[in-house]
Structure 1
């Protein structure tokens, strides 16, 4: 866990004599903090990096000489030009020095402030590194920094460092806190991991001729090696192409065939570690037709059929059968049953006197079979010799003289607006209708239009005037008699204001 801290960047450099002279006898060497001090000839000054992160020094030839891991010897301190400050004037050693994080090119360390800050106050901390096998401690920062966490970057793979940190006051640097074990900069390996998309966790179904394009993401650092197999064997490079990137692997088949069905396994390997993912692919096609069909029996208006399932199911289950019939006279096929699961059926409601053929299609997820199984013989629906014996009955006489079920009603109309008179009559046989005004026949007068439908008699008077007022009569006449109804029509202008 990183603790936030602020710091300025510093360069690694050896201790100058002026600061070494200020160290106490307990430390045996000094930590330099001067702002204007130059680095030793065997070290490089790194460029400035933000947020307390500093660059590592380049190692000298002497520092790279391999030596057994042992406590680093302390270099003898040069002759002091000034008397060493009292121990109570300098801070004590920082507390809880620990490594927070190590990558393949950096290390982050943190610590806690010392228990005693010194009489003159704390100016900051100086971090130092010493490569394993070297004698010299090299400062990371050229001046004290008020931070309790630092990241050193640009380290080389394989380097091992001892690390120490000291608190500095104006009286000098206190004793350092030193890590017990060296820090080893080595490659960080992230174990490979495959993330299979949700839709590929179940059987992936495609139809013959469709494209297959599987993109499988994976993780791993450094980039792992990916390989595919089909049912435990190498892929057919003529049919299947694979493209692997830094974070995914793509398997592509331009036109799927049923032979492409099976288990495809992706293996991702890295430094002896591996991850595997299996993807089941099913390529399906339309089924074949039923193997055979027979007409078992014909009775009345019924026919019984039986067939056998298809030998080729299209690489998937049969969802049912479609049964059709065709009359010999027309030759047109009509569907009788759809998605019918049994292999026997009875076709009913056939027409007497006709002959029928039957056929059956298989059906799966791709649809109906391309062809059907057709009966060889026809089903003849025979006519039966049945003598009808109708029951005797008395024929009812529905003759009736005319009678009005709905009479005419008195009516008032406005001049210039057409009006209608209605009545209803019942009679058998159908009566002849005569309209009269004031006892005079008005048949043929273009001012009037008479209608009679379903026993409803209508007289329309077109744009009446006051002269059209009077008594109107509707008379119905048939061979059994006659009947009539009257009403009074008054045509008058509306009152004016």
Structure 2
């Protein structure tokens, strides 16, 4: 049986006659009437038949007549009339996964939740909020045969709560709940106080905001401002404690502080400002230069580049070079064959940044010999020597004849 049809079954008669059965006729009439209607236009040989196009809610009497060449049998009648109605399917709510845990929205946002369900015939749907009937001025409910829609145009914190839906078919019902939380920005901390100031530091403490925005406070933002510039700078973000120490303040400046509360929506629009001002006092500071241990860098002369033996040509200026180090700066003397050269204009003596040179201008054969450079300071002395050979230019025979 459903809302528009009825299916019946019957047994074959015990006696069908020698000529056999031609088939069956199925007839029905509404309860309270005697107008029998033939359901099958043609005889059916089957022992099962479905009567269609019935009206839901009616009581139907059904009878079956066997037919053979000899005529119709006595009708077989159902013992009781059959009500035409839908087969009851137990109602079941299919709560979406996203609504099985707490559902969060911000203040002012639109809420449009669809909760599907099943059940036959069409279930009756009812809603409660925190155990009380819904305020239909704020919450709009739209029901169909397969789902229920809860709609709030602009959510407010008072819309938060536990919503319960009940779906009922006859004596069967199913219930489900969803938890809605509408949140907003928190208010500022209830109070903030400057506890202490010392050195270049200031200590603050504050209390949580009175309005947490209908959700947990996740942290605080702490800022400082110099009273001269009045520009705010962030010292701490996402700070979880109710006390803080601000360090590295500048001596001679005065500071104000403010604290913002923070939740999952964001940071409070305003902050709580300290009434007190933290002034970092100037203190007399005597500069004490660092002490360094004295080191003795004195060093006896030492030649780092020696003199090299060399040969020169008569009439061509030549130069001897060496390098020396020592502290204090050593005094340099040049000697020829162990005799001090002194201020002889034939020689040019230069000493610059440890490089010592002796220039011999247009040497002759008598300028050959052993040259010595001697370096001397308070720590000692050092010498280095080389041999200089001055050679005469050898002319070819043709050049000698020309010379004569």
Quick check: which has more Rg, 1 or 2?
A: 2
Report if aligned partners of 2:201, 2:249 keep a CA contact under 8 Å in 1: yes
1:355 alignment partner in structure 2? 254
Give runs of aligned pairs for residues 340-419 of structure 1, distance below 5 A.
Answer: 340-387=239-286, 388=288, 390-394=290-294
| Count of equivalent residues | 307
Of 54, 63, 73 in structure 2, the residue corresponding to residue 155 of structure 1 is 54
What is the CA distance between 1:279 and its match in structure 2?
A: 2.8
C-alpha change, 1:315 and 1:176, in structure 2 (3 Å) is same
SS, match of residue 199 in structure 1: helix
Q: Deviations over 1:179-224 (max 9, x none)?
A: 8644613222445443332222222211111111122233444434
Give runs of aligned pairs for residues 252-291 of structure 1, distance below 5 A.
Answer: 252-271=151-170, 274-291=173-190
1:215 alignment partner in structure 2? 114
Report if aligned partners of 1:103, 1:185 keep a CA contact under 8 Å in 2: no
Of 176, 186, 189 in structure 1, the residue corresponding to residue 84 of structure 2 is 186
SS, match of residue 252 in structure 1: strand
Tell me the distance in 1 between the aligned counterparts of 2:140 and 2:257: 47
Tell me the distance in 2 between the aligned counterparts of 1:137 and 1:311: 78
* TM-score w.r.t. length of structure 1: 0.51
Q: Deviations over 1:279-326 (max 9, x none)?
A: 322211211111111121222332211111111111111111111223
1:326 alignment partner in structure 2? 225
Of 353, 376, 381 in structure 2, the residue corresponding to residue 479 of structure 1 is 353
Tell me the distance in 2 between the aligned counterparts of 1:198 and 1:148: 49
Tell me the distance in 1 between the aligned counterparts of 2:149 and 2:98: 15
Report if aligned partners of 1:360, 1:372 keep a CA contact under 8 Å in 2: yes
Tell me the distance in 2 between the aligned counterparts of 1:306 and 1:386: 31
Report if aligned partners of 2:205, 2:242 keep a CA contact under 8 Å in 1: yes
Tell me the distance in 2 between the aligned counterparts of 1:292 and 1:273: 56
Report if aligned partners of 2:6, 2:84 keep a CA contact under 8 Å in 1: no
Report if aligned partners of 1:219, 1:247 keep a CA contact under 8 Å in 2: yes
Report if aligned partners of 1:167, 1:176 keep a CA contact under 8 Å in 2: no
Report if aligned partners of 1:201, 1:279 keep a CA contact under 8 Å in 2: yes
Report if aligned partners of 2:25, 2:67 keep a CA contact under 8 Å in 1: no
Tell me the distance in 2 between the aligned counterparts of 1:127 and 1:396: 137
Tell me the distance in 1 between the aligned counterparts of 2:228 and 2:296: 43
1:248 alignment partner in structure 2? 147
Tell me the distance in 2 between the aligned counterparts of 1:115 and 1:481: 146
C-alpha change, 1:239 and 1:135, in structure 2 (3 Å) is closer
C-alpha change, 1:176 and 1:396, in structure 2 (3 Å) is farther
SS, match of residue 50 in structure 2: strand
Q: Deviations over 1:149-174 (max 9, x none)?
A: 43221234433334547697xx8899
Tell me the distance in 2 between the aligned counterparts of 1:197 and 1:321: 35
Report if aligned partners of 2:65, 2:72 keep a CA contact under 8 Å in 1: no
1:464 alignment partner in structure 2? none
Structure number having the greater strand percentage = 2
2:4 alignment partner in structure 1? 105
Q: Deviations over 1:248-279 (max 9, x none)?
A: 33222221222222233334455465544433
Report if aligned partners of 2:25, 2:43 keep a CA contact under 8 Å in 1: no
Report if aligned partners of 2:130, 2:162 keep a CA contact under 8 Å in 1: yes
* TM-score w.r.t. length of structure 2: 0.61
Structure 1 unmatched runs, 5+ = 1-101, 405-426, 428-476, 484-497
SS, match of residue 189 in structure 2: coil
Q: Deviations over 1:90-138 (max 9, x none)?
A: xxxxxxxxxxxx1122122457899999999x88753534557869895
Report if aligned partners of 2:204, 2:243 keep a CA contact under 8 Å in 1: yes
Tell me the distance in 1 between the aligned counterparts of 2:293 and 2:135: 88
Q: Select between 294-303 and 135-144 the one with higher mean Cα deviation.
A: 135-144
Structure 2 unmatched runs, 5+ = 306-324, 326-350, 358-404
Q: Deviations over 1:372-412 (max 9, x none)?
A: 112222323345445425213337879xx9x99xxxxxxxx
What is the CA distance between 1:364 and its match in structure 2?
A: 0.9
C-alpha change, 1:143 and 1:481, in structure 2 (3 Å) is same
RMSD between aligned alpha carbons? Answer: 4.4
